Amino acid sequence: MPRRARAAGKAGDAHHAVVRERAQLLSIFDGIDEVVYISDPRTHEILYLNGAARAVFGDAVGKKCYRAFQRRRTPCPFCTNRIIFHKRPGEPHIWEFQNLRNRRWYRCIDKAIPWPDGRLVRYEMALDVTDMKQAEEALRSSEKRYRATIDSLAEAIHMVGPDLRIILANRAFTVWAARMGLRGGLVGRTVRTAFPFLPATVEEEYRNVFRTGRMLRTEERCLIHGRETITETRKIPVLEEGKTVHVITAISNITARRKAEEAIRRSEKKYRSLMEGANDAIFLADENGMLLEVNRRAIELVGRSRRELLGTHITRLHPPEERDRIVAAFREIAERGAGSAGDVTILCGNGKTVPVEISVSAIRHGGATLMHAIMRDVSERKRIEAMRDLLLRDVTHELKTPIAMMKMAHAMANEALAARDLEGVRRAEGIAARNLAFLARDVGNILGMCWLRGGTLILKPAPLSLGGIAGEIAEEMRDRLRLGGVGLEVRIKRGADRITAERRMIRTLLYNLVDNALKFTRRGKVTIGASRTGGWVTLTVRDTGIGIASAAREEVFTPFYKKNPAMQGTGLGLPICREIAKLHGGTVRISSNGRRKGTTVAVRLAVRPAASRRAGKGGVR
């Protein structure tokens, strides 16, 4: 499977996993008896209603929240979006409000939460507190009527006096107490003895309500029959002439609500983990092309902060000349559902451009279309492709040139034979021999690099003479040395001649070093030397040629690198030398005193290899 398809598949799997998990959250919301809805804060479009909300307001998904819930033509002036979207995501804002459509009172719990597409949306749970409001009103008008009213309420309610004893309780409270495992009558007992599982601070909480006259909301967690139960307690002061005379305590089981919120947090964490853990840059945009979310890799790729990117049109990521093509590609993908925008470039924050390939999926959710784009940096691929093209061009040139020269030498030899010109035949033979050597060198280097990088060579060391190999190369290059006006000297110090190594590889290494020296030396001298220190021999090739700049001393070991493309050769000689040295446990170092002051290449080799080694993909293992 192509890498692009695998990357798109992984990102698609991650997205579908998040969507499935969010579907599970919505099923949790559907199991809650209170009204729950989710809406878009910018468009006010209703994205989700649970069963309780649909029972009250009908199926209003896709409608404006202010029309469906309040029968207004414009957004509600009391909308809390300005509050919740200035808080941290997930931090609640709690308030009470009377709905203008059904005239019922609700205690609303609002917060900003992320939607599957990454944007922040409005989440509201509305608890119907009409009965409580009516109970409070009844309390002000008649104690008897109040008692009857609270007894009919579904919430567990009890009243506490100034001495912190329970004065009365409704039926729902009695049922709740039985489920909690509380036995016996609770009326007349202090809150501390009635609820021994509560923290000691509960008494101080009641005293604060009596003292301040302000309602207090707390949350408690406890185990009932081995299962965690979460309750919310509201301590509501009852005032007479500005003084708190009683405190009404309403207990609500909010286990389902808290579990849903915890599930949301887990989903958010998983969504963020999947997105942030991706190796490719991921961008999420709305149907208008505005960026809603980006991952860490996208920020690194573009070189801009998350704040800078969010809310930016996706075309602003590309150079001006590509933007029309991007818009057309995204429009076509939105209709098809998925596709590729091809190879384009990203405009980075520092003004540089980076080539990328883009895979895009159109996601339809809640009546809207979202664009999920995966971008992969293909700079390295482009570099390799350019290197490949350069290699093909150079190899073609390097092979054609000696072949053409050998054809010419063949024609010259035929003419000389016809004229019985023996000296002409010798000249033609020399031309053919030199070009055959060039051809053998280039083909050998190409095959050698393939073997070294492909894991097809196993080192088989044997005793050899460095001086003997140097003599062979000197004889082989005699005509070339003469034509270039270059002298070759061999200086092998005592004790440095004999080593144990792979002879064919050491010969290739030394041949390439001498060949490289001759390319850059005219009317000068090349010296092959060797010295021994302990268990190591340093083989050197020193020339009096043009030298090498310090900045280029590492670049020359890059396969196919040639500072001057017109220079003869494939650019594989020195990279092969380094690979051979590494295969023998050694190193290669280049030194030069500067331009036109010659170059020295020093190869450090073990006199005897530690163990048999093998060339593998990417080097030696």
Domain span including residue 426: 382-436
CATH number at residue 313: 3.30.450.20
Better-scored residue on pLDDT, 32 or 493: 493
Kindly state whether residue 540 falls inside one of the protein's structural domains: yes
Number of domains composing the chain = 5
> For residue 140, is pLDDT > 70?
no
> For residue 471, is pLDDT > 50?
yes
Terminal CA-CA length for the chain: 28
* Same structural domain, 344 and 458: no
CB 199 within 8 A of CB 210: no
Per-residue H/E/C for 98-128? ECCCCCCEEEEEEEEEECCCCCEEEEEEEEE
Count how many Cα atoms sit within 13 Å of the Cα of residue 168 in the half-sphere of its side chain. Answer: 12
**Cα dihedral across residues 543, 545, 550, 551: positive or negative:** negative
- Residue 215: per-residue pLDDT: 92
Domain boundary (227, 259, 291) is at 259
Kindly state whether residue 270 falls inside one of the protein's structural domains: no
- Residue 11: per-residue pLDDT: 54
* Same structural domain, 470 and 603: yes
Kindly state whether residue 4 falls inside one of the protein's structural domains: no
What is the arithmetic mean of pLDDT over 231-255? 88
For the chain, helix (H) and strand (E) counts, in that order, are 19, 24
- Residue 541: per-residue pLDDT: 96
The pair of structure tokens assigned to 76 is: 């509600």
> For residue 423, is pLDDT > 50?
yes
Distances (CA, A) of 170 to 104, 150, 177: 22, 6, 11
pLDDT digits (tens, 9 = 90+) for 25-34: 777 788 888 8
The residues that bridge with 238 in the sheet, in sequence order, are 246
Ranges 230-234, 495-499, 614-618: which has the least confidence: 614-618
Kindly state whether residue 12 falls inside one of the protein's structural domains: no
Mean pLDDT of the chain: 82
* Same structural domain, 482 and 409: no
* Same structural domain, 584 and 558: yes
Query: Whose CA is closest to 568, among 427, 386, 442, 479?
Result: 442
* Same structural domain, 122 and 136: no
Question: Quick one: pLDDT band at residue 207, thresholds 50, 70, 90?
Answer: very high
Task: For residue 248, report the phi and psi dihedrals to the nearest 5 degrees.
Answer: -90, 130
pLDDT digits (tens, 9 = 90+) for 318-334: 888 888 888 888 888 77
- Residue 326: per-residue pLDDT: 83
- Residue 209: per-residue pLDDT: 92
The residues that bridge with 239 in the sheet, in sequence order, are 244
* Same structural domain, 605 and 471: yes
- Residue 617: per-residue pLDDT: 43
Domain boundary (77, 97, 128) is at 128
Question: Quick one: pLDDT band at residue 393, thresholds 50, 70, 90?
Answer: low
Kindly state whether residue 444 falls inside one of the protein's structural domains: no
Kindly state whether residue 443 falls inside one of the protein's structural domains: no
* Same structural domain, 159 and 295: no
* Same structural domain, 484 and 580: yes
* Same structural domain, 286 and 255: no
- Residue 10: per-residue pLDDT: 56
Kindly state whether residue 308 falls inside one of the protein's structural domains: yes
- Residue 621: per-residue pLDDT: 32
- Residue 206: per-residue pLDDT: 92
What is the arithmetic mean of pLDDT over 226-245? 86
Distances (CA, A) of 395 to 380, 439, 442, 520, 603: 22, 10, 8, 20, 27
Task: For residue 322, report the phi and psi dihedrals to the nearest 5 degrees.
Answer: -100, -10
**What interhelical angle do 255-276 and 3-30 show, nearest 10?**
170
Question: Quick one: pLDDT band at residue 449, thresholds 50, 70, 90?
Answer: low
Query: Whose CA is closest to 70, among 112, 126, 132, 136?
Result: 126
Kindly state whether residue 215 falls inside one of the protein's structural domains: yes
pTM: 0.39
Question: Quick one: pLDDT band at residue 282, thresholds 50, 70, 90?
Answer: confident
- Residue 338: per-residue pLDDT: 80
Domain boundary (101, 128, 155) is at 128
* Same structural domain, 251 and 165: yes
> For residue 497, is pLDDT > 50?
yes
- Residue 440: per-residue pLDDT: 73
- Residue 147: per-residue pLDDT: 67
pLDDT digits (tens, 9 = 90+) for 52-108: 999 988 999 999 999 999 889 999 999 999 999 888 777 899 999 888 788 889 999
What is the arithmetic mean of pLDDT over 205-219? 91
* Same structural domain, 400 and 505: no
* Same structural domain, 109 and 228: no
The pair of structure tokens assigned to 141 is: 């008008």
CB 251 within 8 A of CB 243: no
Better-scored residue on pLDDT, 453 or 344: 344
- Residue 375: per-residue pLDDT: 85
> For residue 431, is pLDDT > 60?
yes
For the range 558-567, what are the long-range contacts, defined as Cβ-Cβ under 8 Å and sequence gap of 24 or more?
559/387, 559/449, 560/387, 560/390, 560/391, 560/394, 562/394, 565/390, 565/394, 567/519
Indicate the Cα dihedral angle 302, 305, 308, 310, nearest 10°. 90
- Residue 465: per-residue pLDDT: 95
CATH number at residue 553: 3.30.565.10
Ranges 243-257, 297-311, 451-465: which has the least confidence: 451-465
